[in-house]
Amino acid sequence: MSSSLNRRKLLHGGVSLAAMGGTTWLLGGCVTSGSDDDAESAKGAADETNPLGVLPDKALEVVIFKGGYGDDYAKFNESLYQKRFPKAEVKHQGIQTIAQTMQPRLVAGDAPDVIDNAGDSRLDMATLISGKQVKDLTELLDAPSIDDPKVKVRDTITAGVIESNTVNGAVYQLNYVSTVFGFYYNKKLFADRGWTYPTTWDAMLTLCGEIKKAGVAPWTYQGKYPGYWTEQIVTLIGKAGGLDAVKAIDNLEPNAWKQPAVLAAAEALYQIADKGYLLSGTEGLTHTEAQTAWAQGKVAFIPCGSWVENEMKGIIPTGFETTVGATPSLSTSDKLPHQALYAGSSESFIVPAQGKNVQGGLEFLRIMLSLEAGNKFAELTGSLPVIKGVAKNVTLTPGLASAREALSAAGDNVFFFKLGDWYAELGKAIGDANGALMTKSITPAAWADRVQKAADKTAGDSSITKFKR
């Protein structure tokens, strides 16, 4: 799926999704500057039934990344659009090469009205924003929602999504799919063995001892891509040190990686390796090889995101109950409860500022954020969109059902970090350090020193645009 492809690319140490000044496929200067004035020229009268002032007979063009989610959900949303605006022609294109296909059109001033900017080759948001090629979505977020006109669209979106996509006070993309990170396990295996998912780190280590005695490896990870551990380390840091500790890391504050919570997190993960709880040979496995061992019941836990169930479809046997557990608390003095969750979003939708029907593009996204559209997306793709209360009556896979339960249990204690998106090289350096930590090549203290040094290098590099949250 596209989200997992994007996420994997980061976890595998690839380029940043939106690293300003980065070297993603679409290089700076390849697009011309736009203006919101053009967008305003295509706006009609707004009223209660048409709050965004869409011109009813204006054609709409939608371009979808046809990856793991396919594009049937988009066609459904287009049908909803046409019900609202029957005189409007809706053009649809499902492709896999977003940047290669869209860049020439943006340069030529022939942008579509909605782009699903996803997949391995996607448009660089930094270039789009600096060139004023993408519409600020604030007007959409402040519009009445489809399901309840008394509720703004922004209030129908799950916690953290808008904040995580805010750049310099504006929101230029809508990430539509929820991704939950945590420790994944087979609930049926645990039930059969009488194992209980732990809520504290001490209980985790105790359980690992029992699992090992039962002849099952307690842990594996995507050995060749140790960046998969970064989410878990940051989650432990956030729980132990609070959100300010995570923000300090994102903001490249001096000694952010020397905070007590950081060292405690590294020491916790190090114990997994030090106590012999890793599947033998893990460090040489690819992500799919490690996940296959997990799916085959050779391993109890693996760190991952909620795409793992779909990614391992065909490998996961019948009866396997993919379940995500919130990362256990390090101690009773943690600042966040054990239910706190690191969760993100992906599959970025943008409205080009130079589209011929910008208001229609915003309306299309408003429709996407309705429960009707969200339920259909969950039904067609087996994934959850970032809509509150979605999929209550949709039969979910075990993994997605557990992700929804975890998000519900976390409540407002859902958080994220941006460092990996903002600073690709630093993210890669952290991943490499994780690999050294989990193979016991370095101590937790040496890991913290190494990561801090990498962060300092990024902070001191004037050629890298810096961000704050």
pLDDT higher than 90, residue 40: no
pLDDT higher than 60, residue 18: no
CB 61 within 8 A of CB 91: yes
Q: What is the mean pLDDT of residues 166-180?
A: 89
Cβ of 55: how many Cβ atoms within 10 Å?
Answer: 19
Tens digits of per-residue pLDDT, 144-164? 999 999 999 999 998 778 988
Tens digits of per-residue pLDDT, 301-314? 999 988 788 778 88
Can you tell me the distance from the alpha carbon of 267 to that of 274, in angstroms, rounded to the nearest whole number?
10
Tens digits of per-residue pLDDT, 62-117? 999 987 678 999 999 999 999 999 999 999 999 989 989 999 999 999 999 999 99
Task: Name the residue with higher pLDDT: 287 or 381.
Answer: 287
User: What are 396's two structure tokens?
Assistant: 């979910």
Integer-rounded Cα Rg, in Å, for the chain is 22
**Pairing state between β 414-415 and 166-167:** unpaired
Q: Which residues contact 272 (CB under 8 A, 6 or more apart)?
A: 208, 218, 219, 278, 438
Cα→Cα distances 430→138, 251, 274, 437, Å? 34, 15, 20, 10
pLDDT band of residue 378 (cuts 50, 70, 90) is confident
Mean residue pLDDT of the chain comes to 88
Task: Name the residue with higher pLDDT: 134 or 125.
Answer: 134
**Pairing state between β 170-171 and 166-167:** antiparallel
Cβ-in-10-Å burial (0-12, 13-18, 19+) of 203 comes to middle
Q: Check residue 10 and give its pLDDT.
A: 40
Q: Check residue 178 and give its pLDDT.
A: 86
Q: What is the mean pLDDT of residues 14-39?
A: 39
> Per the confidence metrics, is the pTM higher than 0.85?
no
Cβ-in-10-Å burial (0-12, 13-18, 19+) of 47 comes to exposed
pLDDT band of residue 444 (cuts 50, 70, 90) is very high
Q: What is the mean pLDDT of residues 205-219?
A: 98
Q: Check residue 343 and give its pLDDT.
A: 86
Q: Check residue 120 and give its pLDDT.
A: 59
Structural domains in the chain, CATH included, are 60-179+344-401 (3.40.190.10), 181-343+416-460 (3.40.190.10)
Q: Check residue 252 and give its pLDDT.
A: 96
Q: Which residues contact 118 (CB under 8 A, 6 or more apart)?
A: 2, 3, 5, 6, 65, 67, 98, 346, 347, 348
pLDDT band of residue 428 (cuts 50, 70, 90) is confident
Can you tell me the distance from the alpha carbon of 344 to that of 417, in angstroms, rounded to the nearest whole number?
9
Q: Which residues contact 106 (CB under 8 A, 6 or more apart)?
A: 31, 32, 123, 128, 133, 352, 354
Q: Check residue 233 and give its pLDDT.
A: 96
Which strand (E) or helix (H) includes residue 116?
strand 114-117
CB 440 within 8 A of CB 273: yes
Cα→Cα distances 250→169, 246, 253, Å? 17, 6, 8
3-state SS assignment for residue 166: strand
Which strand (E) or helix (H) includes residue 311?
helix 308-311
Can you tell me the distance from the alpha carbon of 286 to that of 320, in angstroms, rounded to the nearest whole number?
22
Cα→Cα distances 243→168, 249, 334, 341, 430, Å? 20, 10, 11, 12, 19
Q: What is the mean pLDDT of residues 297-326?
A: 92
Q: Check residue 70 and give its pLDDT.
A: 80
User: What are 261's two structure tokens?
Assistant: 């919570």
CB 430 within 8 A of CB 454: yes
DSSP summary character for residue 338: T
Which strand (E) or helix (H) includes residue 425?
helix 424-438
Can you tell me the distance from the alpha carbon of 176 to that of 3, in angstroms, rounded to the nearest whole number?
10
Residue 387: beta bridge partners?
A: 157
CB 375 within 8 A of CB 439: no
pLDDT band of residue 13 (cuts 50, 70, 90) is very low
Query: Among the listed ranges 61-70, 206-215, 234-243, 430-439, which one has the minimum average pLDDT value?
Result: 61-70
Tens digits of per-residue pLDDT, 270-286? 999 999 999 999 999 99
